[in-house]
Amino acid sequence: MAQAEKTAAHSAATTQNGGANVVSLGPRDILQGRLEIQGDLKIAGNVEGDLKASGDVTIDSGATIQASIEGSNVSVRGQVTGNVSAKKRLTLGGSGHLNGDVKVARLTVEDGATLNGNVTMQAEKA
């Protein structure tokens, strides 16, 4: 019986980036503290603390974030104050404002976006 439970848990963990696990915080949601998830994270509300996702992190234009952010691909269209680490790519959308240091493999900054901080480029991580 224990072996069957172990196999089922392992199968669920391997589908984390296949769109199976997405956590969304709406425009009226507030998070204070640390959130670490296996999957993708979409934020339209307010966050203070730390965010870590094994998948992609999307910050909508109405979001206000005061947190460090870690993710595979990170997209910022809202207000972020804190350091960002993206294993693959950081995209700053035209409405995005980022105040903090950045560690990325690839960086895209659209017209109208602002970035205040140090940028460290590193090899893409799997």
* Model confidence at 6: pLDDT above 70: no
* Model confidence at 13: pLDDT above 70: no
Domain range holding 69? Answer: 2-121
The count of domains in the chain is 1
Is 65 part of a structural domain of the chain? yes
Is 99 part of a structural domain of the chain? yes
Measured CA angle at 101 (ends 55, 57), to 5 deg: 20
The number of angstroms, rounded, from the C-alpha of 49 to the middle of its chain's C-alpha atoms is 13
CA distance 2 to 29: 38
Is 126 part of a structural domain of the chain? no
* Model confidence at 64: pLDDT above 80: yes
pLDDT of res. 8 = 31
Is 100 part of a structural domain of the chain? yes
The number of angstroms, rounded, from the C-alpha of 3 to the middle of its chain's C-alpha atoms is 34
Q: In terms of pTM, does the model score above 0.85?
A: no
pLDDT of res. 126 = 65
Is 94 part of a structural domain of the chain? yes
CA distance 13 to 62: 31
Residue with tokens 């296949």: 18
pLDDT of res. 125 = 72
Mean pLDDT of 48-66: 96
Is 27 part of a structural domain of the chain? yes
- At CB < 8 A and 24+ separation, what contacts does 43-47 make? 43/78, 44/78
- pLDDT tier at 122 (50, 70, 90 boundaries)? confident
Question: How confident is the model over 76-87, as pLDDT tens digits?
Answer: 999 999 999 999
